[in-house]
Amino acid sequence: MIRAVFLSLSLIVPGLALALPSCPASFSQAFDNCEGRYQYDNGDAYSGEWRAGKKHGQGTYVWANGQRYEGQWVDGRKEGFGRYFWPNGDLFEGQFLNGIYHGEGTLTYVSGRKVVGEWVDGKPFKATSFDANGKAAYAYTDGVPQCLKAQG
């Protein structure tokens, strides 16, 4: 009976059975397979999952200057799907590898301009840049921008 209730609850509340324990009160290598928050001396803060004293799993890092990353971490690096916010309202949403944009993603500027497509080493590789009205302005082929407005 108790097992059936626990199973029912874990189906109703996803993650209940898989939640990590809280990290210790003070930071150390003991931040291992736990969830917690750490405030750095420079004003930055990380809240999320840890493994072996490194950011690992889901988490949010907020820089003192207002930049923020929400997403996946692997061994202390932004890796996998994430969202990077700038204080001015710009946003990158997509894949990260070794801490930089790499893979499919969209960079949306507060002006409404967007760059959508494949990113390599932090730069648009096979992507299209759209103006604030949604019209394609540039195409990136192998990282080289091609103006589309003049071709039309």
Q: What is the pLDDT of residues 43-78, one digit of tens each?
A: 999 999 999 999 999 999 999 999 999 999 999 999
Mean pLDDT for the stretch of residues 78-97: 98
Domain that holds residue 54: 18-151
Residue 53 lies in a domain: yes
Number of domains comprising the chain: 1
CB 57, CB 71: distance < 8 Å = no
β strands within 34-135, DSSP E: 34-39, 45-51, 54-62, 68-74, 77-85, 91-97, 100-108, 114-120, 123-130
What local confidence, expressed as pLDDT, does residue 150 receive? 53
CATH code, domain with 88: 2.20.110.10
- Grade residue 84 by pLDDT with cuts at 50, 70 and 90: very high
Please tell me the total number of residues recorded for the chain in this structure: 152
